[in-house]
Amino acid sequence: MNAPLASLLMVLDWKVLLTLKEQKALQRDLGRLEHWAIISGMTFNKNKCIILHLGWSDARYKYKLGEEWLESSPAESHLGLLVDTRLMMTQQCALAAERANCIRGCIKHSITNQSKEVIIPLYLALVRPHLEY
């Protein structure tokens, strides 16, 4: 991948767009990115290209990649962290608790010796990391 494309992809990753001029510049960059992909013989999986509008003052501008409109999402995962439109961690915490609870259930149903000496190390090794992460 060449350097200009790599820098364009980083800019497209997370960017605050405050003005209509900035929004139009991003749309122009998306067009350039699509053009580069076409001449390079590549395609983008547009189902994986999502717009996450942050904040109350966001104008909810619509963007296109090629001829297709990009979908908006109420929450997206970025570097393993689930971020919603208000930058709240509620969904992330709920998912971590759900994963930990599933593992706890597996331990409860698969371990016959329910003594503290067996259960506590299993919880510390398997359940607690999901809650701490």
In tens, the pLDDT along 56-106 reads: 665 677 888 888 888 877 777 767 777 776 777 777 788 888 999 999 999
In tens, the pLDDT along 27-61 reads: 898 889 899 989 999 888 888 787 877 766 656 77
Q: Which of 2, 42, 49, 57 is nearest to 26 (CA)?
A: 49
65 CB burial (10 A radius; 0-12, 13-18, 19+): middle
Please tell me which residue, 91 or 123, carries the higher pLDDT value. Answer: 123
Angle made by CA atoms 121, 124, 125, in degrees to the nearest 5:
85
